[in-house]
Structure 1
Amino acid sequence: MIDVPFYVWVLTLAGTAGLVGTAGLVLYRGAERAGLGWRRAVGLGVGSAVLLGGWFTASGVIAANGWYLNRPGRLPGLPITFAAVLVVLLAATRIPVVARALAAPGMLSRLELPHTFRVVGVVFLIMMALGHLPALFALPAGLGDIATGLAAPFVARRIAKGTGRRTAVRFNVLGMIDLVAALSLAILIGNHVLDVTPSTQAITQLPLALIPTAAVPLLFTLHITSLWRLAALGRTRHVTTSGVGAGLGYR
């Protein structure tokens, strides 16, 4: 087991807690703006935060028992977990009350805000400096996350002003590419397809295991949902230009 410094634990747990809390707040605000009422809005916001927090906790227990470690004869835990959680989260966006909240006015800009916590990707650079992660993984993953996290509030602000559609598309596409590249490198290096030293074993253990198994599926879902909303906006703008119907608006 790798000895992870206390401050890396603090950064990782603070980032994941912030991500969960902000996602819950985004759904609460969306439900409120959608006219679902204060009680249902609170229920959706708190309920989603509790469920997401529950999975983060469960994933921590799984990691603590070594079930994400790459071992001969065992199915790769990280990609399977990522895919399973992503499918569940995408399916959850189709639940009627969630779908209404996600379609509320102003939701597109709010969906970008949780990405701010990706600045916690600095932990990859720290672990690289300590000799626990390879530069081939840590540099693109860490720098990509930090750049995305720093850009998120500015992108959200532009969208809220109604001037950031193209910026939002680029932000979400590049954000997804960053996540896919980081996860792919982690898997390839962890399974010695790319043989570098050190390996990416550190991200199969706590606290870093929380990032690919819980945080990344949630962030990916936010990106996909944002692109769905942008596509819907584009279709409605086309109809409006033709003189039929009304636009969705960015806010």
Structure 2
Amino acid sequence: MRFVMAPMMPPAARRCDRGMEAERIPSPRFRAYGRAVSQHAAAPRDHAEAAPPRRMRAGADGPVNFGKDALRLFDQADQLAAMIHQRKRRDFQSWLLIGKALASAKAQLAAHHGTSLTHLGRPWTVWLDRRPGLRAISESDRSSACWLWANHEDVIAWRDALPEATREKLVHPATNRQAWNRHVRMLVASPLAKPPQPKPDLRCHVTRLEKIVVDLSSRHAALEGEVAALRETVRSLEAVAVGAMKPKGNGVAARAA
């Protein structure tokens, strides 16, 4: 197969062709379009009249009216969060109260501003800025605390069935969330299987036995006192009975002597 090269246009002809293209006159339609674009660009605009008024949501322009109980709850949760951040407090009930305060604040802010719980935006940021204790803890911890309060009934019932040593380890809401999800996955995987029995806690068993020993010792001491009192009563009754059984003559002779 042969390739034939097309003859090239001479330079002078190319220059002439470009000159002819530059001298072409635009069509009337193109000129009309250009005039319309120029007039539109040069025309003054009144943005206040051109832009439609933005529709405001109900309550978006005013502060949220939290109740006294809610404000008291927020202050208490803020103090507990500050203590947890400073590692001065560590218990499950504190995290539960923090989750309750966060969930209540989110619900009221969402209802006031007409937004969803997951997209509160600036109102949520402003609310957190006013409470440095809650602001200090991480977003993941706040999310886990909200989850803990949303499922607190099931979680507390599940925790009550656990050994005391295990409950002492489940303090942080994220730890409770992971353990709860693991428990739910296990139930879903084997719905007909019996839940595994918790292993006996030797420390709790020893503590319970010590309490039983103390109770038995106190009861033993009380019973010993009762036995001693009964023995004294028996001795007195025996003495009275022996005196009553002695003959009267011997008694008179003894008195005469």
TM-score normalised per structure 2: 0.27
Larger Rg: 2
TM-score normalised per structure 1: 0.27
Structure with more of its chain in helix, by fraction: 1
